[in-house]
Structure 1
């Protein structure tokens, strides 16, 4: 090792030569669902849960004359929910109202009820699990098939005879099992469609959960930024008010029902409004990306020429004629397995496997030189030393 360093070979390049790549069985858009989205929503859910159970999620000021303890008022308002008044959402703060949505309340007034905040942490947790469903299904269906086919060819350096034997064995297996991977590829397509549908269902559910306010939430927030806050309604205060009202009723001395108007502070909504604005934009990005991926998959299924184009663009070391032969003889399912192998195999090993498959498909393997004579020792050493 020290000798190689003295010769000028950097240590990070030596690490690359001995590195074993992790097996990839999906694509970037698929990973956005179960890695990024699942993890991000789960972390936010845990944070909100921690604040809710270890902090003070609601703080109420009891109405004048109420003989009920503040803790009871707070518990009641947390369980029963609070409300704001739409008529007070567009009035000037400090001049007409103390806070958006808070004003003198009459029984005939229209109200916006807020009780979802009790369930935000639980709902986010369940939503995060939904984004992992397709990953779980695909892992169950995939059953380490790609990992079994790789057989060590994801290593950059292999002993010469081992490399030849493994490449020939993989090529023979892929030729002998032609037409048997269609169900495998179709199941992956089902998972991609499910990813798309899950995002749409999540958006519909959140819109219902927030009382129909989520559909245009992001657009309304963007429009509000450029407006005068004293002349327009703040969509964040409408959906996630920080100061709300809560009515507590009890019997008076004579048996009459007495109503007490209470102000309640909801500090969690400072975080909730930011979480859902980010979630609104991200879900739209995700639904567009997932929809385009489904369309992309349908095009690849329908047009074999697109499969040739992808393989040729991603693997320049392979001569185009070999890909042309493979596309001619292989179905979409066979191509899909080759495509995943291309993400995992070392580029030099992948080239040799593709060329061996092409020769076998052409039924000229007996007439042409075997794989071990495809290159001489000098070429082999040069290719293996290339990083």
Structure 2
């Protein structure tokens, strides 16, 4: 089976296609699209045997059948002996010196594999047990689901408001006929429908019927949750890997993969030990020692190393996204240049920046942000019509209120 066929189900059920209604930004989409896709692909890789063969193969004596030993060692914990051929006095030394001793044993040929060596039945040498590999596909899958939850939360809080207003206007720029048309499954409204829908959007925005001040607050809360969620996932993964994940990427970056004993061999050992207990003919317990090849860890170390760097990248992007959100909150009603920049791609031709600032001065940050997302969901020509219409409506209301204010001032001083 080819690689394309393996990931065919993911391709069919998780297409990276443009979102029909944009209600978030590119940083938000990194969380519930790119990251979820990463976890789904990783889950498929660690459960697929056609690329790495059997997940575990153990070498033992003939007292235990091979398939029994393989099954036993996979579903129980294998282990490694981190300080092979090291005296008790050496265990009190600095950890770096002990690792150096292990490296020297490997380089001189006195040790076949890191972490694998003689270990007696009554030995008191410290060992490190490895049981996480049994749970890797499940943990990766549920981590992917967790990254999708904030998107579902924001969709619920947003309540389909943008979709309600945008529906019917996505192709309104092509409304040249008096009757509605359907081309390729897309509905092109008539001229009268376009005018009616544009006026409805203007009226709802001016009257504040459909958008309240908590709309933007809910979005910002979800963005902060995304940041906290990355930290939570870091902690979950670190605990899952025996508290070796936090510095995994930095250690790989610093040490490289050239040394005899690197951090990946310690966290994801390729060769481990396993002990099978069996009753002998006379009823005494026999111990069968096995050396197991952990082929699955060839995939695991790549996945978790990549995941460490992805988490760092996602954390930085989320921080930058929150900084941008703060800048928009501070500058949306103060800077014409900032509004010119934000709406530059939304309105073809030259847009008077005073209109953008005028809208911001009269309305809240939520109204301004809603206009930004409205511009991402409709054709630029249609948005320009809506935008300038809102500015005109506001000027008219301002002109109507001015005589009333002057009359009130005269009454006060008379």
Q: Could you tell me how far apart the structure 2 residues matched to 1:311 and 1:141 are?
A: 27
**Residues in 1 aligned to 2:274 and 2:168: alpha-carbon distance in whole angstroms:** 66
* Contact 1:84-1:245 within 8 A present in 2 as well: yes
The yes-or-no answer on 1:351 pairing with 2:384 is yes
Shift of 1:341: 0.5
Aligned to 2:371: 338
2:324 is aligned with 1:296? yes
2:58 & 2:240 partners in 1: Cα distance?
24
Q: Give the distance between the partners of 1:182 and 1:307, measured in 2 at CA.
A: 21
**Residue 136 of structure 1 aligns with which residue?**
152
Matches of residues 6-155 of structure 1 in structure 2 within 5 Å? 22-51=20-49, 56-62=54-60, 64=61, 67-88=63-84, 89-90=102-103, 91-92=105-106, 95-106=109-120, 107-155=123-171
Greater Cα shift, 30-39 or 74-83: 74-83
Instruction: Determine helix, strand or coil for the equivalent of 1:278.
Output: helix
Secondary structure of 2:49's match?
helix
Work out which of the residue numbers 256, 259, 276 in structure 2 matches 1:229: 259
CA apart distance, 1:294: 2.4
Cα pair distance change 1:266/1:306, threshold 3 Å: farther
Structure 2: 5+ residue stretches without partners: 1-17, 85-101, 177-190, 345-349, 401-414
Q: Mark the runs of 5 or more structure 1 residues left unpaired by the alignment.
A: 1-19, 368-387
Q: Could you tell me which residue of structure 2 aligns to residue 210 of structure 1?
A: 241
1:220-240, Cα deviation, whole Å (9 max, x unpaired): 1112227x524xx31111111
Partner in structure 2 of residue 370 of structure 1? none
1:129-169: CA deviation from partner (whole Å, max 9, x where unpaired): 01100111122222321121124332232235554443333
> How far does residue 308 in structure 1 lie from its aligned partner after superposition?
5.5
SS in 1 for 2:273: strand
Partner of 1:181: 212
Aligned length: 343
CA separation in 2, counterparts of 1:362 and 1:179?
Answer: 21
Q: Which residue is equivalent to 1:200?
A: 231
How do 1:217-296 and structure 2 match up within 5 A?
Answer: 217-225=248-256, 229-230=259-260, 233-253=261-281, 255-296=283-324
The answer as to whether partners of 1:93 and 1:99 remain within 8 angstroms in 2 is no
Q: SS at 2:48's partner residue?
A: helix
Q: Equivalent residue of 2:292, what SS?
A: strand
After superposition, the Cα gap between the structure-2 partners of 1:181 and 1:148, relative to the gap in structure 1 and judged at 3 Å, is: same
Inter-partner Cα distance in structure 2 for 1:151 and 1:268 = 49
Structure 1 counterpart of 2:202: 171
Q: TM-score, normalised by structure 2?
A: 0.76
Higher relative contact order (CA 8 A, sep 6+): 1
Q: Is the 8 A contact 1:178 1:334 kept in 2?
A: no
3-state SS of the aligned residue for 1:132? helix
Measured in 1, the distance between the counterparts of 2:278 and 2:397 equals 93
CA 1:85–1:307: 2 relative to 1, 3 Å: farther
CA RMSD across the alignment:
2.7
User: Helix, strand or coil: the match of 2:63?
Assistant: coil
